[in-house]
Each structure stands twice: as structure tokens, then as C-alpha cells.
Amino acid sequence: MRWNVHLCRGDCAKSILAFFLQPPYIPSMSKTLPLALARDLPVWRRPTTLLFVMAAAMPIAFATWTALLNNFVIEVAGFDGSDIGWLHTVREIPGFLAVGVIALIVFMHEQVLALIALLLLGVATAVTAYFPDMAGILTITMLSSIGFHYFETVNQSLQLQWLPKDRAPQVLGLLMAAGSAATLLAYGAIVLTWETLGLSYTHVYLIAGGVTAVLAVFSMLAYPRFDAPNPQVKKLILRRRYWLYYVLQFLAARAARSLWCLPVS
């Protein structure tokens, strides 16, 4: 269902909004709403609010997964330095393949792809402790990494499409702050409840991944698909004058992690 904003004014626009707001109907991503009409939705159903929900949901699972990963694979799965090296190698493969997002958004709305990737990250995190062996952990790591990298790629695109230029810098800063707050909340919850409540890796991974998955499903059900006036270009664009930036990004994201994050056996 698509609406032409330029041909829809006055009573027509009010009718569309009434359709999305009538109780007890909850809009879902099967319905499409132009971004220009979203400003008249309740605050909690607007695109900016969805960006904040996603910005907070992702670190809950990802920060928990990374915080416990090394301890989990050593204490439970019996990994050594070589095994952890393979783990981080598999973890980075989806980062190289994130360019595949271009192929997916040709057939799938970016908002839908972002929430599916977020759901994949949450589910993979939730079941991590149920696969305490080499094959299981590598498989779960691959799935969670796909969810993380694809979500981050599409989420940044949605932010630039949905935010007005005059407010984008401020809101982008607030989104980063929301993600940082969620990360600190996850870390703090682990520290304060691990021994107090006698938690295990299974409990913590299940709770953190479950929260992210629930937020992803909620976002699928509670928000329509927002159509931006200037959708993302669905092709890869490279500029020769930016070659140094590309090289630095590659080195910062890959080589630095390989050098500093792998333990020595």
C-alpha cells in the first residue's frame, strides 16, 4: 500500500492517519506510510523513536555477547588461543560481505531488513550458551555477526534518510548516546546480578538476546514502513578521490581488531 503525498492533502491525509491510529489496530510493516505524514503520528510511533528503539536494542545483545565471549569459550567450551583466533576470523567474514546489503535492498525495504537483522542478532545471542562446542559457537558467531553487520549498515542508511538535515547532527549524537547508555546498562546489569542472583552464561545470554529479539518483533508490529522522499541509491558508488579514506576504514575495522583483540596462548 503506497500513498502519493503530493496528491494527498487535507481530509485525505487525515483519513490515512486515522487508519493507522484507530484502536485496537496496530500498524505493521505490511503498511507503508510516507515520511511526510509520520510527523502527525504519536511520538512513540514516529521514525525517530524507532531509530532510538533500534539504537538501544542492538547493544543489549551485542555488548553482552562480546563482554562474556572470551570467558565463555574458555571456561565452558575449552577454547585455546588458536580456537579464539578462528572464532574472530569467522566473526569478521560478514563484515567483508556487508556489501551484499546492496543486493538485498533491491528486493527488500531497508527498514524490514534492519529489523530482521536485529532479530537475528537477538536470537543468535539468546541461544549462544546452548552450543558449547567449536562447530556450534562458530555457527552462532557467524549468524550473530551477519545480524550485527547488516543491521549497522542499513541502520546508518535509515538515519540519514529519515532525519532532517537541520537536526541530523544533534539526533545522531543522541542516538549514539542511547546506544552507549544501553551498553553501560548491559555491563552494569552483568556486574550487579551475576553473583547476586547466581546467574550462568545461559541465563545472561538468553535474557539479553531475548530482550533484543522482543524489541525487534515489537518494532515490526508497532511501526509502519516509512517511505523517505529520497530513498537509498541501490548500487555501489566508489570515488577515486576517497581512496585513502577507504584504506583507513579497512585497516581500522579489520587489522586493528586482529592485532589487539586476540589473546595469546
Domain boundaries, the chain: 44-260
Tens digit of each residue's pLDDT, the chain (265 residues): 444 444 444 554 444 444 444 443 444 666 788 888 888 889 999 999 999 999 999 999 999 999 999 899 999 988 888 888 888 888 888 877 777 777 777 788 889 999 999 999 999 999 999 999 999 999 999 999 999 999 998 998 899 889 988 898 999 999 999 999 999 999 999 999 999 999 999 999 999 999 999 999 999 999 999 987 766 666 667 788 888 887 887 776 655 455 444 444 4
- CATH architecture of structural domain 44-260: Up-down Bundle (1.20)
CA distance 90 to 143: 10
CB 208 within 8 A of CB 62: no
Q: Phi-psi category of 10—alpha, beta or left, where left has phi over 0 and alpha has psi -120 to 50?
A: left
pTM (predicted TM-score): 0.80
CB 41 within 8 A of CB 71: no
The predicted pLDDT at position 254 comes to 56
Phi, psi of 91 (to 5 degrees): -60, -30
CA distance 160 to 165: 8
Neighbours of 95 (CB within 10 A): 18
The predicted pLDDT at position 240 comes to 85
Phi, psi of 133 (to 5 degrees): -140, 170
The one-character DSSP state at 252 is I
Its sign, for the CA torsion 178, 121, 260, 92, is: negative
Which of 86-93's residues contact partners 24+ apart within 8 Å by CB, and which partners? 86/138, 87/137, 87/138, 87/141, 88/257, 88/258, 88/261, 88/262, 90/138, 90/141, 90/142, 90/145, 91/141, 91/142, 91/145, 92/145, 92/254, 92/257, 92/258, 93/142, 93/145
The predicted pLDDT at position 130 comes to 95
**Residue that the C-alpha cell 586476540 belongs to:** 262
Neighbours of 57 (CB within 10 A): 27
